[in-house]
Amino acid sequence: MSSIELTSSQKSILTALINLHREEEGAVKGEEIAGEVDRNPGTIRNQMQSLKALQLVEGVPGPKGGYKPTASAYEALDVQEMDEPADVAIRHNGEYVEEANVDDIDLSSVHHPELCRAEIHLQGSVRGFNEGDSVTVGPTPLSKLLIEGTVDGKDDTSNVLILRIDDMRAPVEEPSH
């Protein structure tokens, strides 16, 4: 996983974008992000240029336009390496899987957001999982990322589940004043 080093201001802008995008299901206007992070819209526009260059944000033209996070945006905020794999729970059809822990989450197909897939590496067997089963992974230790998906394939020998991501979210952090 290539980790992109973001400045704290880029992180807060990206987090605001992801959270607003989740609420609105569409492109987010720079002014709204500016309001969230308490900066002026010009600053946001400049930052968005750099985030676009990093392929973390895509611009949406037109009157309903604005910015959308790419799948890589979630990864960039999730620059953790999981030191404590035991902390990441996995649920299978709504039930916690006691004997399995998530070892690694690889959001590999970020270049095809419409084929949003995640590879979930388990410590424990994937034998009980079948295509079409629903799986929830997370929250991850640092960014509290939660991934909900449907099993699209699996590799028994390396204990990997391929998920079609249905929803991916991180909680909104309340700013401490």
Note down pLDDT in tens along the chain; length 177 residues.
445 677 888 888 888 888 788 777 678 999 999 998 889 999 999 999 999 998 899 998 888 889 998 878 877 776 444 444 445 788 889 998 877 778 777 776 555 555 678 888 887 778 899 999 999 988 877 677 888 899 999 988 888 888 888 888 776 665 555
- Same domain (yes/no): 111, 157: yes
| 99 assigned to some structural domain | yes
Same domain, 33 and 92: no
Q: Residue 48: which domain range?
A: 8-77
| Per-residue pLDDT, 98 | 79
**pLDDT value at position 145?**
80
Tell whether 174 is covered by a domain: no
Q: Are residues 23 and 63 in the same domain?
A: yes
Per-residue pLDDT, 3: 53
CATH of the domain at 63: 1.10.10.10
The pTM score is 0.49
Residue 26 has a pLDDT of: 78
pLDDT of residue 34: 93
Q: Name the domain count of the chain.
A: 2
pLDDT at 86: 44
What's the half-sphere exposure (Cβ side, CA atoms, 13 Å) at 114? 0
Is 55 within a domain?
Answer: yes
